A and B are shown apart, each in its own frame.
Chain A
Amino acid sequence: ETGVTQTPRHLVMGMTNKKSLKCEQHLGHNAMYWYKQSAKKPLELMFVYSLEERVENNSVPSRFSPECPNSSHLFLHLHTLQPEDSALYLCASSRRGTGIYEQYFGPGTRLTVT
């Protein structure tokens, strides 16, 4: 595998289910990100992890719970979601240091909440 991979690619879940999204980066980066992409809206940054420590949490509801066990893996745990949470969830990774580094994106997980 190369780049950033995400599984599953599609997920349909009920409002009472618990599921997890997985992201893996094969680029040797030390920062990882979760974004939410909804139609006609800018990408919303949800969480940022740097060196496995969460450094950003942009007022995301607690029904979304991230986990970063190491610099290559990132999870997004989902529980009791709402229909408005249906969206494309994108994972990204980058180097992290004193400069600005481009982010590399995975293909996304298309989530539908019924």
Chain B
Amino acid sequence: AQSVTQLGSHVSVSEGALVLLRCNYSSSVPPYLFWYVQYPNQGLQLLLKYTTGATLVKGINGFEAEFKKSETSFHLTKPSAHMSDAAEYFCAVSGTGNQFYFGTGTSLTVIP
């Protein structure tokens, strides 16, 4: 069975500081992992994905994530937070039939 746990439902960082959003997964098959972002009153937008190959994945808006099989983690990072990064972030793991299992989300606040 597949599942995702996002540690911390709310994260606050200062503008210019490192962003770290945590995601741990459980999967009975080799996982495909995704990070999505949701801005207010919008749907989810894909930030990045891991399928196979390189474990450090780069996405849009300067975000990246590293797949660590030994830790069953796929944490999202950005070296320097910008005000426009304030949003809800969702981690997801794929299952059979292209079914996705989403976490409960992490709300990121950026303090000026």
Contact = CB atoms under 8 A, between A and B. Distances in A.
Interface of A: 4, 6, 31, 40-43, 45, 48, 55-56, 90, 92, 94, 96, 100-108
A106 B43 contact: yes
Interface of B: 4, 9, 32, 34, 36, 41-46, 49, 51, 90, 94, 97-105
Nearest to B90: A43
A113 B90 CA distance: 26
Contacts of A96: 98
A104 B43 CA distance: 9
A102 B102 CA distance: 13
Contacts, number: 50
Contact of B101 (A42, A90, A92): A42
Given A55-B97, A100-B32, A42 B43 contact: no
Contacts of A94: 98
B40 to A, nearest CB: 11
B44 A31 contact: no
A42 B100 contact: no
Nearest to B100: A103
A104 B32 contact: no
A23 to B, nearest CB: 11
Closest 4 CB pairs of A and B: A105-B43, A43-B102, A105-B44, A100-B32
Contact of B98 (A6, A100, A104): A100
Given A92-B43, A102-B34, 10 more contacts: A4-B43, A40-B9, A40-B104, A55-B97, A56-B97, A90-B43, A90-B44, A96-B98, A101-B98, A108-B42
